[in-house]
Every structure is written in structure tokens, then in C-alpha cells.
Structure 1
């Protein structure tokens, strides 16, 4: 039997932007499941940036080493970036960059209702989505590397560098575990995976930091204690629909706390609270503008893989079992059912970067995936993501920077 090889698709489309960067749009046809290379195929897209200042001719371009950018997520595509800033610095150092829309995102056979209607059962969809974790993303990258560099005579010229941001860093460590022969060097930004087999330890640590950020928020904006309580009371007593048909519930409002982990996030959440409180005072309801703003800040409808796989990306041989929901339940400061019974001076805490089962009721584009999410949350058959022994033997140069939680505003 002849094994089908991964391949590029169609003629290349190129253009040059105002910074003098040649951009090449690349599509590849790759296996959904690398254990069955002759089986179902998916499309994977990558945008190639070549600095013309470093490559005047096609021969020069071929000599520029690749740096592959692996986006955070899971389940987010790479936006068309500004080729200034850190990207310009990468190019100045003599690299060409390749930005990968990870499988299931962007232009890479994106996971969406349009795609999933071809499946008959939730189990079929769940089985399909099990192929969208770091291990499969890395196999895509390796297949693309061989397509682009496999013809090089010098083995060192067949290697490339990678940069993993957040979840992209998880992918980078998977790459080092199982395919380090393809790597020249690795850069990791904010994505040092814990190397465990389950997300519970992660959320036990995260919830402590989220509580600290809530304390800072309410210390800075003490009048928001009453405002937030009033907003949640209103949401509990009223059926509030967002412009796209989603529901704005008390739980969904608490999810705005994910912004506490970003620079300026505390102030942005305050502005939403301030606006909502003003709406209730003036109109007795939340304005369309406020609802539109909340919807735009919560992007899970357009990137459902993030919600579906956010906990399974940690799992090796164990089921996630809605880890965040179980851990948060242990801290009553996050429970509106508990806090609403207390004095008006008691704050209700916002959540952090967490996924909950009720999101598959409240987000319009996640509702059809509720059964799928339940199946994946209970699935314990996840394969290995890391090889600690190989990582201990690693000889590939790795540079890593991580986030620092500054406990002030």
C-alpha cells in the first residue's frame, strides 16, 4: 500500500506590505489522524513573512532560517500581525517567520457549526476533536517542515526555530519531547507547561492568584462591591439576551474577570461595571451598547475549541471532569448563591481564565456542543503530551520568559 504524503495545496499567493515584508499564503493538506495517514484530511494554513531587506533574491530567501510562531489558545488563529515591534526584531535578526493557524482555527479547516453538521452524533464530533491538541499540532508543524525544508542537503538546514506563546509554549514542549530532531532552537513566552497529567493542580494555584486580583480590584474600586451585587441581582431576576442570542447570566458576568490577568484589566472591568450600573439607574435595564461590549469581549462563540479543549490540553490518561468548576466551588467567595445571602458589604469575586459547564448554555454558538463537551470532560483516554526523560536529555537551546503577577493595579 502506498502511504499518502502531506502536501502543499494550490499555487502560492504573495504580496508585499508597506514595511517591505513579502508575505506568502501557504496551504497544506495533512492527515487528521497521523496514525491513519491515508484517512481523512484537513487543511492547515500558514502565513510566511520574508523580510526583503534580508533577502533580495529567491536564492537569498531560501537561505533565511525559519522561525515558526505557535499561537496561544487553544483554539485561536494567528491574526494578521503588525510586522513592526517584536516581529520586526525577529526579522532584523535574519529570520523569516511562519505563522501557523493551528488546526481547527482561522483558515485551517476551522471548527465551526458549518463543519460539524456533517457529523451524526456527539460521540463522532468528540472523536474528531480529540485530534486538536498539542500533539497533533506539532505533527502538523513537522509535516510542514519536511515539505519546506526536507530537500536541504545539510541536516542542520532542515531544522527550524519555533516560538510558542502561552498554549504555543505547551506545543513547544511537546515538540521537544517527541520531535526535537527538527528543532534548531526554541523560544517560549508565558507557556511553560506544568508537565502533569491533570489540570486540578493548575486551578488550585490559579484560584489563589485570582482571589488576590479580586481583592486589589475591590480595594481600588470599593463602590463596585455594591454595583456588582446589584448587577448580578438584576441578571438573576431577568432573562437578558445578548445581540447574538447568548444569555448574560450572573456566571457569565463573573467571567469578565479573565481580564484581571491582563495589563489594565482591572480598570477595564470597572468601566463595564460602572456603565452597567449607570444603565440600571437610568433605564432599569442594560443598554444595547453594554451588551454588545460584553459579547465582543467574550470570544468563545467564534473560537469554540478554546472552551471545549481548555482543560483536556492538560490531560494524560485522566479525565478533566470540569476541573475549574470543581475547584472554584470550594471557595464560597466566588459563589453568588452564597454571597447574595450576606451583607451588601461582602464582595462577589470574579472568575479568572476558566471554563464552566454552564457556558455551553449561555453562549449561543456553544450550545450545540454541550453534549460533546460533556463527553470530552469525562474522557480519560488522552495520550501522552510530554516525555520527561527526553526533556531531561534535551540538547536543543531553549529560551523562556514567563508572566509575572504584579499584585497592584
Structure 2
């Protein structure tokens, strides 16, 4: 049975129960677009509230369960309904009720897409609007929601909650620690020790080394893919290939499939695409609809444009990103098809990693209307602060982080600098898992984090 309710604080909720007795409350909040203008334009922010009924049989017991807020990776991705397995189960078993935030601009939270930005008439208006969707405002949303849900509790400690950030969610957690630590009881992070930088250049100079290493491992495992990929890029260069939604499949767009290289099983998944494409060219002389459909579905930028628009600005404090990834990649000829195609057929062309390029706003159909705004944001140096190093140095909130030595997206060396900068940070460090360790081995990762959280010094 579903119950719908509008509460006095303007929040709308919808409640139901899923399998194994997990109560779900869908919560919709109306919050300021710009917190400097709290009475101005509002946006919707959605959070899915999940309560393990085996831990709380009555409303009073529910109210007493501690909250854990989960912050998704990205930027720019929503969170699907969690089932009763995986790391959600591990968290619920520890007696938490959980809140799964669709960060502003994603999912059910006034999502960003060209087709819903029709009231904004110029590239500058779109750029100004999108500047409100970084970690600083995501954290302000979290604080507003915390006040609504538990700000009324009489005991100060009961007005705090625990947060957990995966990847970019960890970046948000560090912003939270910097400016609103009074609302936090404890912080967990997985692959989320953000580089504490002012601009993205140091990030890409570090991560491109790991991307190159993953390419080397890929071609060592599948040496026949060297020629297959070269033949495929030659075909894409000589033919206009359109994807089902009207996007263009260019050599550079194929290289962008390397985003998956840093995930568990990513090397094998890319090989399967290459094998399918090579087979298509051998049998039909062209790429099949199924292959094109698969490529389109693996690349999220059309449906989650914030991932492309704000990927470099998430590192910026008072400096412009200026297409940092493109500038760094240009210095390494192994990633340049124009260069590699002139070499012997035994020379591989490298895939890109988690990198955004200006030509993506031509090749992806749903990014094209945002090209002008993206250019403005790439040149914008007025980004506000994301971190307070002095506050982090005197941090008093318990921080437990899972850190992956072979992380292709969050450089291990930079992560260690961040861990040293946040007072009291404890880490579970491993070279056995990749960036998606929380999904690949949820029980292992959560047990390690909870063990760190409970550890006492002798």
C-alpha cells in the first residue's frame, strides 16, 4: 500500500514497503536554487529514505535509528532504488536508516537537460544557472534536509547524521567537513579522497599515467585488439557513423569508451565491444545497429549532461578549467589517432579515461545545445571555495576511507595528500579492488570501514 502526504515544511512524501521489510519514503523538498537568495527561485531536491523494519518495529523505534546519508559519485548521476542486498544491506544491518540523495540536477531533483532549460534564452543564462550545481550547493541542500528531518531533536548529538560518499560523493563529503561539520557525526568515503586543488591540471597530469597503465594491461591481455581498434578507427574516420539518437561515432568518441578501463571487468567489456565491431566490419562492411545501440548506452553524457558540463569545474576554486584534460592529452602522442595511424600496425592507440573534451559537445546529440554554455564555464575563473584547509586540519569528525592504490579516477598519491590534510582520517588501503570496490565487494569494503570506525588506540 502506498501513502502520499504533504507535510507542514512543504515536503511531499510517498511511502511503501519493498521486499524483506524495507520501508521506503520518497521525499521531495523545495529548496533554493541560490542559497544567497533563499526567497528566490526554488528547485526540487529528491531523497529516497529507507528504513529496515527488522531494526525498528514502531514509529518511535524508527525515529531513534541513526541516519546515514549516501552521496553518489559523478558528478551528475542519480541513485536508483536500492534493493536489500549489496552495500545497502550492510549499512542497514548496522542499524542505520538511510537517505539516498538525487543530487540537485539529477534524477528526480529538477534534472538538468537541454529540453527542460527552455526558459533560459542565452548561453550565459544557462551557464549562470549551471554554476549552482556543484558540491558547495549539494552540501547546502544536505544541510537543509538535515534540519527538516532531525533539526528538531532536543539532544544536539541526535541532530547530527553520518554521511557516506562514493567517488564524487566523497568530494562532497570533504566540502561538508569544510563548511558544515557541525551537522556531522561520522564520515565514510570510498574512492572519494578528493584532490585539494584549485584547478584540474594536476589531476589529469596524475591520472593520465594510470590511464596509460590500464591501456597497456588491456593490450597485453588482448594483443589482437591492437589491429582491430586501428582498423575500427580507420573505418570511423572514413565514414560518417550516426548513433541511434543522432550522435556521431567518431574515432575520439570510441576512445572515450576507455572510461570503463578503471572499473572491475572494464577491460573485458571493452574487448567484447571491439570484437563485436570487428566482426560487424568483417561480415557486413559496417557497424550493426546492435553495436551502435550498445555504444550509445554505455556513454552516459546525453542523459546525464552535468557529468560533462561540470566535470572539470568540480576542481576549480578561483581558476578557470580551460579544458584541462584536452591540454594534458595533447602532450601524449599515444592518445592521438592522427599520430598513431602513421606508425606501424603493431603500435596501439590508447583509450581516454575520465576526461571531458570540447568536441564532445559536437558528437553527443544532447550536449550540442549546451556547447556555448560549456565554453563559457571552461573560461570562467569566478568559482567559489570548495574546501577550507584550516578547518580540515583541525577536523574533529571521525573519517574512515576506503582507498584504492590502482584507482584510475582518483589518483592514489593525491588522495594520500588529502588524507594527511584532514585530521583524524583513517584508511583501508588496497590494491585488490578498483574504483567501484563498494559495488564489486560490498561486504568486504563495508566491514573494513566499520572496523576502522570502531578502532580504539592503546
Alignment match, 2:179? 178
Q: 2: distance between equivalents of 1:97 and 1:8? A: 21
Task: Give the drift of 1:85.
Answer: 2.2
Paired residues of 1:8 and 1:26 also in contact (CA < 8 A): no
The Cα offsets for residues 116-147 of structure 1, whole Å up to 9 and x where unpaired, read as 11101000010000000000000000000000
Paired residues of 1:44 and 1:101 also in contact (CA < 8 A): yes
Alignment match, 1:341? 342
Alignment match, 2:195? 194
Task: Give the drift of 1:289.
Answer: 0.6
Paired residues of 2:19 and 2:84 also in contact (CA < 8 A): no
Q: 2: distance between equivalents of 1:141 and 1:214? A: 38
Correspondences of 1:9-408 after superposition (within 5 Å) = 9-10=11-12, 12-405=13-406
What is the SS of the residue equivalent to 2:282?
helix
Distance 1:308 1:346, change over 3 A: same
Paired residues of 1:199 and 1:323 also in contact (CA < 8 A): yes
Task: Give the drift of 1:7.
Answer: 4.0
Task: Give the drift of 1:220.
Answer: 1.2
- RMSD value, Cα: 1.4
Q: 1: distance between equivalents of 2:60 and 2:289? A: 55
Paired residues of 1:198 and 1:315 also in contact (CA < 8 A): yes
Paired residues of 1:7 and 1:30 also in contact (CA < 8 A): no
What is the SS of the residue equivalent to 1:19?
helix
Paired residues of 1:221 and 1:270 also in contact (CA < 8 A): yes
Task: Give the drift of 1:150.
Answer: 1.2
Q: 2: distance between equivalents of 1:89 and 1:204? A: 36
Distance 1:233 1:22, change over 3 A: same
Paired residues of 2:264 and 2:433 also in contact (CA < 8 A): no
What is the SS of the residue equivalent to 1:350?
coil
Task: Give the drift of 1:408.
Answer: 12
Task: Give the drift of 1:83.
Answer: 2.3
Task: Give the drift of 1:82.
Answer: 1.8
What is the SS of the residue equivalent to 2:210?
helix
The Cα offsets for residues 341-400 of structure 1, whole Å up to 9 and x where unpaired, read as 111111111101111111100001000000011000100000000000000010011100
Q: 2: distance between equivalents of 1:239 and 1:138? A: 43
Paired residues of 1:64 and 1:96 also in contact (CA < 8 A): yes
Q: 1: distance between equivalents of 2:433 and 2:237? A: 31
What is the SS of the residue equivalent to 2:404?
coil
Normalising by the residue count of structure 2, what TM-score does the alignment of the two structures yield? Answer: 0.87
The Cα offsets for residues 36-89 of structure 1, whole Å up to 9 and x where unpaired, read as 101110000000000101111111111111000000000000111122222112
Where in structure 1 do 4 or more consecutive aligned residues deviate above 2 Å?
Answer: 6-10, 406-409
Q: 2: distance between equivalents of 1:207 and 1:89? A: 34
Q: 1: distance between equivalents of 2:219 and 2:381? A: 40
Paired residues of 1:212 and 1:407 also in contact (CA < 8 A): no
The Cα offsets for residues 77-114 of structure 1, whole Å up to 9 and x where unpaired, read as 01111222221121111110000000000000000123
Q: 2: distance between equivalents of 1:395 and 1:132? A: 28
**Total equivalences in the alignment:** 403
Structure 1 unpaired stretches of 5+: 1-5
Alignment match, 1:3? none
Q: 1: distance between equivalents of 2:404 and 2:115? A: 36
What is the SS of the residue equivalent to 2:37?
coil
